[in-house]
Amino acid sequence: MSETVAFMLPGMERVQVRRDLAYKPGEGAPWLLDLYLPGDYQEGDTPRPAVISIHGEAQINTPTDMKERGQYTSWARLVAACGLIGVTFNHRASQECTRLQDPAEDIDDVVRYLRTQVREVDAKRLGIWVCSAGGDYGLRAAYRMHTSSVRCVVAYYAMVNPLVYREMLPATIDEAILREFSPEAYLNEHAETLSPLLLVRAGRDAGMNRAIDPFIQRAIAQNLPLELINHPEGQHAFDVREDTPRLRAIVQRTLDFLTLHLS
């Protein structure tokens, strides 16, 4: 399996990368993010919209290298080649879903840091790209915590509702915490104000689709600004497992969606 997205755009090789910006202190070392700037960006330019790539779960003892993974760096370069700013970062693992608050707090801190400390970024035009177990965190950030800044969300084969998996999660997790990470409240209370969502469903990912399919039905019933791409033959992590015309079409539509809603 390749770790990079099999899609190229002109200008990806000219992307400027500013590495290892400390967005918050940590125990022993700070937590870091990287900025991927368009090749034509110059100091003093007008701030540009940014797309934050939120990684899924990591091994408890190895979350600090996730921002360097090819999946996230290639998405960041693709975003930057479209004239936006790509952001990759490390967050704390949730310790096998027992501490959902930890990565959620890190994501909140990344958003605040970008809004207040990074002059290259337009603080009012942020997008989120999320996949897999990062889905709950991304939707929470966009729909509950940072609604004034996050203009759109892209979710690939993403976990969208932990309540669906209640029997698989530790009994020690409080129900109130699971509800905080469930989209039910967002759809019930704020559907008319939610940012556009591009949801990419992998047809062969039965585990994630267990929550995605009812979410789609609920979102449509609530008239959420939802764009759905169904990839019938897609498997989990298909964006780094495939090199097919269908994959390239999905990636291109994703970049068009981000550009439309952020530019």
pLDDT given for residue 95 in this prediction? 53
Structure confidence at residue 133 as a pLDDT band (50, 70, 90): confident
Residues of the chain above pLDDT 70, percent: 94
Residues 192 and 213: beta-carbon distance below 8 Å = no
SS (H, E, C) 211-229: HHHHHHHHHHHCCCCEEEE
Q: What is the mean pLDDT of the chain?
A: 90
pLDDT given for residue 187 in this prediction? 80
pLDDT given for residue 179 in this prediction? 84
Per-residue pLDDT tens digits for 159-196: 999 888 888 777 777 888 888 888 877 787 777 778 99
Angle at 54 between CA 51 and CA 55, to 5 degrees: 140
- Measured in degrees and rounded to the nearest 5, phi and psi for residue 97 equal 70, 20
Per-residue pLDDT tens digits for 47-81: 999 999 998 765 445 555 889 999 999 999 999 99
Q: What is the pTM of this model?
A: 0.94
pLDDT given for residue 173 in this prediction? 79
pLDDT given for residue 71 in this prediction? 95
Per-residue pLDDT tens digits for 203-227: 999 999 999 999 999 999 988 999 9
Residues of the chain above pLDDT 90, percent: 68
Residues 222 and 183: beta-carbon distance below 8 Å = no
Give the pair of three-digit tokens for residue 151: 């203009």
Residue 11 has pLDDT above 80, yes or no: yes
Q: What domains can be seen in the chain, in order of their start residue?
A: 12-262 (3.40.50.1820)
pLDDT given for residue 163 in this prediction? 87
For 86-97, b/e burial (b = at least 16 CB within 10 A) is bbbbbbbbbeeb
Q: Reduced to 3 states, what is the DSSP secondary structure of residue 117?
A: helix
